């Protein structure tokens, strides 16, 4: 097993990985930006190193700085978490060059799956069903017109480098194609530096169901069941559950075996997720592979009894998977709420600031993966995920009751959060009987939120909307790809003092 692991991330996922390190006797090494000096992951780490200014492109997205710290601290492995550099093949490449083990797939497997058209080609070769469409980028508008006509409208233009709905445009008829083509290409160029797009048939109101897979470096691949992730807001997952209330044992097996074939075809190792769309007749269609540990991994942990982060570390260290497919069994039901510092009643405006009270739920079937503590100030520079509240129960009804009970126990003051929205979603009849699809929440929000929060286009709300848009734009600018080459920042006395000061000022513990 590894001796020392560098965690190239922050917040709750860095804390989650540190916990696995502690259990395995691995020294956990944190990195932190100027905005994260007093963050929980820094307090919980065995060692912590500064990585630069608050904007992530100058800190958490800097491969050169990470490699410098890995060398200086003597780390033999690196875990990327999710987000930031987790799916950037340059990181496993840089690790390989330095003799540091990357906890994840090879850069080659990542590249094979990073391009959506290459992934579709792999899926085709592996006999995995996918949405009707093409397997290569469309060179020009005239070609798009011919292919769209053959597939039949409505179609979707999707970015080859895509994911998360960026560079995606639905086209209802031929006369909308030219404008959508331009929009999709320019959005793709902007987001990924790659303007290429391809075409898929558009599915109306599908479910988003994903399959967890795990592969070791000895040719063993297993699937660990699905997660239902249809409750999303603008491509951001809000609630996830396992198993999906819609999936039958037959469908689970078919999707699981398809995901395993795909992993084998890609030469995949470590944890991965195959995303599928599922239509009302339970046909499933491959969408893409996420080559990382996912935010929602705890619901799979809850129903399988496995520790996915420890499994990741064992497999990365060259160990064989300790389980075969026959050993995988699902028990009970789990559901996760993503607790964000944001205001659902104000266009989901991010709400950084000091947490004055953080009173956490406990008791039967409750797990809280948190990245915060009372007295800490949520920085405005990052995704404002505070914690994930996960409930487990013998069945879906018990899980729902426990989650509702835990949401009542959870008390947060000082900042606004989305917890009240969860109470409304959990009380919704559609949600309770599992009749949900990928557009359900966006359509339902109008009735779940107070009238004042609806995007009605009323002139009284224009200023708020504009402020929210500017804030969102600033956030996105800060998320942009690593750009300028700045020399690594040396540790400074004032920064260390500041960190110590903020830690000693915090009221808890
Ligand atoms: C689709 C689709 C309908 N038809 N593809 C959105 C993000 C990207 N990963 C794929 N997405 C979709 N692809 C076809 N051919 C609908 C979506 C989609 C969606 C997918 C998963 C979760 C939420 C979604 C919300 C809107 C649209």
Angle between helices 297-304 and 308-316 (to 10 degrees): 100
Q: How far is the CA of 287 from the centre of ligand 1 (A)?
A: 8
Residues with CB under 6 A from ligand 1: 131, 156, 163-165, 200-203, 206, 208, 232, 235, 277, 287-288, 438-439
Half-sphere exposure of 3 (CA within 13 A, CB side): 6
Nearest-angstrom CA–CA distance, 278 and 207: 5
Give 432: exposed, middle or buried? Use CB within 10 Å, 0-12, 13-18, 19+: middle
Q: How far is the CA of 171 from the centre of ligand 1 (A)?
A: 14
Extended beta strands in 81-160, E state: 101-102, 155-159
- Residues with a catalytic annotation lie at 292
Buried b (16+ CB within 10 A) or exposed e, 279-318: eeeeebbbbbbbbbbbbbbbbbbbbbebbbbbbbbbbbbe
To test the pocket of ligand 1, the residue of 129, 135, 165, 443 to mutate (highest count of ligand atoms within 8 Å of its CB) is 165
To test the pocket of ligand 1, the residue of 147, 277, 284 to mutate (highest count of ligand atoms within 8 Å of its CB) is 277
Helices then strands, each counted (H, E), the chain: 17, 22
Nearest-angstrom CA–CA distance, 309 and 20: 6
Two structure tokens written together for 433: 């009987």
How many CB atoms are closer than 10 A to CB 508?
9
Query: pLDDT tens digits for the chain (509 residues)?
Result: 999 999 999 999 999 999 999 999 999 999 999 999 999 999 999 999 999 999 999 999 999 999 999 999 999 999 999 999 999 999 999 999 999 999 999 999 999 999 999 999 999 999 999 999 999 999 999 999 999 999 999 999 999 998 778 999 999 999 999 999 999 999 999 999 999 999 999 999 999 999 999 999 999 999 999 999 999 999 999 999 999 999 999 999 999 999 999 999 999 999 999 999 999 999 999 999 999 999 999 999 999 999 999 999 999 999 999 999 999 999 999 999 999 999 999 999 999 999 999 999 999 999 999 999 999 999 999 999 999 999 999 999 999 999 999 999 999 999 999 999 999 999 999 999 999 999 999 999 989 987 655 554 444 556 777 777 787 777 766 654 443 333 334 455 555 555 455 555 444 43
Nearest-angstrom CA–CA distance, 80 and 96: 14
To test the pocket of ligand 1, the residue of 171, 235, 439 to mutate (highest count of ligand atoms within 8 Å of its CB) is 235
Question: Which residue's alpha carbon is nearest to atom 6 within ligand 1?
Answer: 165
Q: How far is the CA of 165 from the centre of ligand 1 (A)?
A: 7
Q: Give the ligand 1 atom nearest the CA of 163.
A: 9
Two structure tokens written together for 5: 């692991």
Instruction: Name the β-bridge partners of 221.
Output: 215
């Amino acid at each position: 097993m590894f001796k020392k692991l560098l965690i190239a991330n922050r917040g709750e996922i860095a804390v989650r990985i540190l916990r696995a390190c502690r259990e395995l006797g691995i020294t956990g090494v944190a990195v932190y930006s100027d905005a994260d000096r007093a963050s929980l992951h820094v307090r919980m780490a065995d060692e912590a190193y500064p990585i630069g200014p608050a904007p992530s492109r100058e800190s958490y997205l800097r491969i050169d700085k990470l490699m410098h710290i890995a060398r200086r601290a003597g780390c033999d492995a690196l875990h990327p978490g999710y987000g930031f550099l987790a799916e950037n093949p340059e990181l496993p490449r840089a690790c390989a060059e330095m003799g540091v083990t990357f906890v994840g797939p090879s850069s080659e497997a990542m590249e094979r799956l990073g391009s959506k058209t290459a992934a579709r080609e792999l899926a085709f070769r592996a006999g995995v069903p996918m949405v009707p469409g093409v397997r290569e980028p469309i060179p020009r508008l005239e070609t798009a017109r011919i292919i769209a006509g053959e597939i039949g409208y409505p179609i979707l233009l999707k970015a080859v480098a895509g994911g998360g709905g960026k560079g995606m445009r639905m086209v209802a008829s031929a006369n909308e194609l030219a404008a959508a083509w331009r929009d999709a290409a320019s959005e793709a160029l902007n987001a990924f530096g790659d303007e290429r797009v391809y075409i898929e048939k558009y599915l109306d109101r599908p479910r988003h169901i994903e399959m967890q897979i795990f592969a070791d470096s000895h040719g063993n691949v297993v699937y660990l069941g699905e997660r239902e992730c249809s409750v999303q807001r603008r491509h951001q997952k809000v609630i996830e559950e396992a198993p999906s209330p819609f999936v039958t044992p037959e469908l689970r097996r078919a999707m699981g075996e398809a995901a395993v074939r795909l992993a084998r075809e890609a030469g995949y190792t470590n944890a991965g997720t195959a995303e599928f769309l599922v239509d009302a007749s339970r046909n499933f269609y491959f969408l893409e592979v996420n080559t990382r540990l996912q935010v929602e991994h705890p619901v799979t942990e809850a129903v399988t009894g496995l520790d996915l982060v420890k499994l990741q570390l064992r497999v990365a260290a060259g160990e064989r998977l300790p389980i075969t497919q026959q050993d995988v069994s699902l028990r009970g039901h789990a559901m996760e709420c993503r607790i964000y510092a944001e205001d659902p009643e104000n266009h989901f405006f991010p709400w950084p600031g000091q947490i004055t009270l953080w009173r956490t739920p406990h008791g039967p079937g409750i797990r809280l993966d948190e990245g915060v503590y009372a007295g800490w100030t949520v920085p405005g520079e990052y995704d404002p995920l505070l914690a994930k509240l996960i409930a487990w129960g013998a069945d879906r009804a018990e899980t729902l009751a426990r989650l509702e009970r835990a949401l009542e126990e959870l008390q947060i003051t000082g900042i606004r959060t989305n917890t009240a929205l969860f109470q409304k979603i959990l009380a919704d009849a559609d949600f309770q009987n599992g009749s949900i699809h990928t557009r359900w929440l966006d359509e339902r929000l109008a009735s779940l939120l107070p009238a004042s929060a609806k995007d009605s286009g009323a002139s009284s709300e224009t200023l708020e909307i504009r402020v929210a848009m500017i804030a969102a734009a600033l956030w996105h600018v800060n998320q942009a790809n690593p750009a300028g080459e700045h020399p690594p920042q040396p540790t400074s006395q004032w920064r260390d003092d500041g960190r110590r000061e903020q830690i000693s000022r915090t009221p808890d513990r």
